Chains A and B, each alone.
Chain A
Amino acid sequence: MFMLDLLRNDKPGSWMLATLLVVSIAVPVLNLLVPEGSIFHLSTYTVTLLGKYLTYALLALAADLVWGYLGILSLGHGAFFALGGYAMGMYLMRQIGERGVYGDPLLPDFMVFLNWQELPWFWHGFDQFWFAALMVLLVPGLLAYVFGYLAFRSRVTGVYLSIITQAMTYALMLAFFRNEMGFGGNNGLTDFKDLLGFDLRADSTRIGLFLASTAALAIAYLGTRYIVSSRLGLASVAIRDAESRTRFIGYRVENIKLWMFVFSAMLAGVAGALYVPQVGIINPGEFSPLNSIELIIWVAIGGRGTLYGAVIGALLVNYAKTYFTAALPEIWLFALGGLFILVTLYLPKGIVGLRRMREARA
């Protein structure tokens, strides 16, 4: 009942959720039940690829929540994504146990390689799934809280905020590249074996992860839709459009910004946590500022401030990226760069904006 209320005025969103539902039924059927020789068979590789796109879509959704509805252009959302990914990666590392190359029951391979004698304190607890899952939410959330608390309280806005978020993810990238940090340095975390006892290489686990990504995206979509239609959402749109005026009316601008930012960071963390078991590796490259800017362009291309636009943008751009990097690797950066320029110049409302423009004309 509640859900129907929420979606009554959100036709594209309803369509998107319906599509997700269909896909979540069709993909397992096509992968597991249709025999391998058939043209309708979906390879496990494709399933994993789709699952990866869905985690990207979730990340784009998180970025759109703060950019589209709050006016914060974060160029550091990749950092929250990567932190969530590292938390999950640490759990998966601990699950390897004695099956590592060095066969140490406690220490992951890279620590044995670095000649470390005991597990660093921050690795404790990650052998429990519930603890890792909690950290997936808490670590990005805490970073966003501290960072946002400092930034919003001193009213750092606009371009300055964008630049310091970029500096944040850059600093984290440099830090995680260091072996002394205890996160595997350059190589990151990899060679995962299983998740909650399920073999990560099995088709069924891949399907399970795909379904989990689909579910996470759907739930996150409903959650963010709920937030933006609530009073909190209305207040944040007010902040986006006229921050000072909203403050003078009596809203606590800093608090609204802070909690929206923290929620968005947690969503990004979840996306990262779902991403890592599907691609099988997490390394400091995920912190690179380029990744964070790229995800902003997903949102921009899809259409900022619509939520479903972010999802569509992420799926489309990433499909194009997979296609181009395989078929015409030389062209990809030209295409991506061209997209950035064309979308900002001619499509300020993104692809979903096109449909709206047509409707407005009719």
Chain B
Amino acid sequence: MLLLFFLFTGFVPQLLANTSTGEASLQEAWKALTDKSYSKKEKAITLIARQNTADAYPVMKAMLDGKLYFSTRDKTLFVLKEQDGNYAFTPLFAGQAVTQESKRGFKKVKINNRLRTRLRQALALLQLQHEDKKLRLAAVQELLKNPDSKAANLIRDVVEKETDTEIRTAMHTLLAVIQLESPNENEQREAIKKLADSLNPSALNALTAYQPPNTALKKLANAAIQKINDRRDNYARAETIFFGLSLGSVLALAAIGLAITFGVMGVINMAHGELIMIGAYTTYVIQLLMPEHIGISVIVAIPAAFIVSGLVGMAIELTVIRHLYGRPLETLLATFGVSLVLQQTVRSIFSPLNRSVETPQWMSGAFQINEVLALTWNRFYIIIFCLAVFVALILVMKKTLLGLQVRAVSQNRLMARAMGVRSKWVDALTFGLGSGIAGMAGVALSLLTNVGPNLGQSYIIDSFMVVVFGGVGNLWGTLVAGMSLGVINKVLEPWAGAVLAKILVLVFIILFIQKRPTGLFPQRGRAAED
């Protein structure tokens, strides 16, 4: 009872001040931990927590984890650490560290459930003032799970000192949750208003569990719940769109290369997927070559994959496609043959098993926007990467001599040749460019899925769909189509499931092509006519 009184009223100001009397009683408390009586231990814990010395946090943590021991000889405290089957006892205060094979000579500081709860609370309170930001946040969140008025008193004191806005918001939510339990109706009204602005799940839980004493408050509470749910829905929608955009980026990346070979050159390259696969395997090989620098390896892999896939693509153009211009269906079959050969080649070199590429450190983790919305970095980087590739490609096509010549050849081959463009050379380079971009898409894909010989096959149909949907020969169309298909897919997924969503998208595109055979953004002008 006395303790409770203490907690409620007086002790907070003293919390950080170690008076001399406190010093003495603290020594007593440390000793009391070795006592057999649980109630004495509980008192000791409360005292230690109140004093908040540097030792308090690690010792209580050790106690909670069952790692706190005392020597049976002189009852001094030790912390146990198990090392390779040996037991290392580190003294808490003065004394000799002991390492031995058994626990002989030491006894565990036993705790019961009541003490365990007490310890957790005490730890949470201590954590609230810890230097580490993560620990402080975790403490507030722990308290939010089981808010009580004791916590409120403590928080009320530290909230003003808190510098981090995220933790402050959580603390305010906690205070409001506790305020909601107050018997005073005005207090409750205040609390509801505050909670309505919080996105923390505990705020919603508190409001749902809340028993309003009159209809006015009930209305207010319902409105608050409505508001929270609306905001959460909005963030969920934003998350879906983000997922959709990242999926769309993958699709667009895989399709942009195809947009060049198919759209600009009119070549149906069924081996496009295999060029993506080659890019992915290039990433894998580069990681094997530089296992010490995983973080850099991905960056190195981007130009490497561009060059490897680009060269393979040029080889395909020079040996096969060159002889088939103007016969699109035959090109389709021949390049399909190429794709089988490439697949089997990779299977023979790397075995048919899937390989995995390690995600570098800087790409893992998430960007926490608020309590509901977190965006993972790797998806974020893929969107950026897709846009960067796209911009670079647009610049190449619009600003360089190669781009000019490519456009000239695709619009009127004979005229371009008459003007001195070496059309065969341009063909090979264009195909190399498209293939190289496929290789870069492979780098991105290798970070998302396993790298295997069938990697390309699963993307070839999607890529064609994107190009056809966007309008053949239109790079912007490819980007828009990829992004919108990605978003549509992710929007459908929650209620249809991943597979059915994909089927629906395919059916949608099939129907769309019936309606607009030339895609979203058809090519205009003479080039469009057959």
Q: Collect the chain A residues with CB atoms within 8 Å of residue B503's CB.
A: 171, 174-175
Please tell me which stretch of B121-129, B180-188, B505-513 contacts chain A, meaning at least 4 of its Cβ atoms lie within 8 angstroms of it. Answer: B505-513
Please tell me if the beta carbons of B336 and A163 are within 8 angstroms of each other in the complex. no
Q: Which positions 345-372 of chain B face chain A at CB distance < 8 Å?
A: 345, 347-348
Identity of the chain B residue whose Cβ is nearest the Cβ of A168 in the assembled complex = B510
Please tell me if the beta carbons of A159 and B334 are within 8 angstroms of each other in the complex. no
Given contacts A154-B517, A330-B348, A338-B341, whether A170 and B499 have CB atoms under 8 Å apart is no
Q: Collect the chain A residues with CB atoms within 8 Å of residue B58's CB.
A: none
- Report the Cα distance A281→B457, complex, angstroms: 25
Please tell me if the beta carbons of B343 and A333 are within 8 angstroms of each other in the complex. yes
Q: Does A339 belong to the interface (CB within 8 Å)?
A: yes
Please tell me if the beta carbons of A337 and B338 are within 8 angstroms of each other in the complex. yes
Please tell me if the beta carbons of B499 and A162 are within 8 angstroms of each other in the complex. no
Identity of the chain B residue whose Cβ is nearest the Cβ of A297 in the assembled complex = B333
Please tell me if the beta carbons of B332 and A162 are within 8 angstroms of each other in the complex. yes
Number of contact residues on A: which range applies? 35 or more
Q: Which of B329, B334, B514 contacts A340 (CB 8 A)?
A: B334
Q: Which of A73, A155, A174, A334 contacts B332 (CB 8 A)?
A: A73
Q: Which of B337, B348, B507 contacts A344 (CB 8 A)?
A: B337
Please tell me if the beta carbons of A150 and B268 are within 8 angstroms of each other in the complex. no
Please tell me which stretch of B162-170, B249-257, B461-469 contacts chain A, meaning at least 4 of its Cβ atoms lie within 8 angstroms of it. Answer: B461-469
Q: Can you list, as one digit per residue, whether each of B495-524 has a CB less than 8 Å from chain A (1) or not (0)?
A: 000011011001101110111010000000
Q: Collect the chain B residues with CB atoms within 8 Å of residue A175's CB.
A: 499-500, 503
- Total inter-chain residue pairs, C-beta < 8 Å: 118
Q: Which of A154, A330, A345 contacts B323 (CB 8 A)?
A: A345
Please tell me if the beta carbons of A159 and B517 are within 8 angstroms of each other in the complex. no
Please tell me if the beta carbons of A333 and B341 are within 8 angstroms of each other in the complex. yes
Most buried by B among A73, A167, A177: A167
Given contacts A171-B503, A333-B344, whether A341 and B464 have CB atoms under 8 Å apart is no
Q: Can you list, as one digit per residue, whether each of B265-294 has a CB less than 8 Å from chain A (1) or not (0)?
A: 000101000000000000000000000000
- Report the Cα distance A172→B345, complex, angstroms: 30
- Report the Cα distance A344→B343, complex, angstroms: 19
Q: Does B324 belong to the interface (CB within 8 Å)?
A: yes
Report how many residues on chain B are interfacial, defined by Cβ distance under 8 Å. 41
Identity of the chain B residue whose Cβ is nearest the Cβ of A336 in the assembled complex = B340
Q: Collect the chain B residues with CB atoms within 8 Å of residue A338's CB.
A: 337, 341
Please tell me if the beta carbons of B328 and A158 are within 8 angstroms of each other in the complex. yes
Q: Does B320 belong to the interface (CB within 8 Å)?
A: yes
Q: Does A188 belong to the interface (CB within 8 Å)?
A: no
B270 to chain A minimum Cβ distance, whole angstroms, is 8
Identity of the chain B residue whose Cβ is nearest the Cβ of A149 in the assembled complex = B514
B459 to chain A minimum Cβ distance, whole angstroms, is 12
Given contacts A159-B268, A330-B344, whether A345 and B334 have CB atoms under 8 Å apart is yes
Q: Can you list, as one digit per residue, whether each of A147-188 has a CB less than 8 Å from chain B (1) or not (0)?
A: 100110111101110111011101100110110000000000
Q: Collect the chain A residues with CB atoms within 8 Å of residue B510's CB.
A: 147, 150, 164, 167-168, 171
B510 to chain A minimum Cβ distance, whole angstroms, is 5
Given contacts A160-B517, A341-B334, A344-B330, whether A167 and B509 have CB atoms under 8 Å apart is yes
Please tell me if the beta carbons of A289 and B328 are within 8 angstroms of each other in the complex. no
Q: Does B309 belong to the interface (CB within 8 Å)?
A: no
Please tell me if the beta carbons of A177 and B499 are within 8 angstroms of each other in the complex. yes
- Report the Cα distance A300→B503, complex, angstroms: 30
Please tell me if the beta carbons of B324 and A345 are within 8 angstroms of each other in the complex. yes
Q: Which of A170, A178, A340 contacts B333 (CB 8 A)?
A: A340
- Report the Cα distance A243→B344, complex, angstroms: 39
Please tell me if the beta carbons of B324 and A344 are within 8 angstroms of each other in the complex. yes
- Name A residues whose Cβ lies closer than 8 Å to a Cβ of B: 73, 147, 150-151, 153-156, 158-160, 162-164, 166-168, 170-171, 174-175, 177-178, 289-290, 293, 296-297, 300, 330, 333-334, 336-341, 343-345, 348
The 8 A-B residue pairs with the shortest CB-CB distance in the complex, in nearest-first order:
A340-B337, A337-B340, A337-B341, A333-B344, A171-B506, A341-B337, A344-B334, A337-B337
A-B contacts, 19 of them at CB < 8 A, read: A73-B332, A156-B517, A160-B468, A167-B461, A168-B506, A174-B502, A175-B503, A289-B461, A293-B333, A297-B337, A333-B347, A337-B338, A337-B339, A339-B337, A340-B333, A340-B336, A340-B337, A341-B338, A348-B330
- Name B residues whose Cβ lies closer than 8 Å to a Cβ of A: 268, 270, 320, 323-324, 328-334, 336-341, 343-345, 347-348, 457, 461, 464-465, 468, 499-500, 502-503, 506-507, 509-511, 513-515, 517
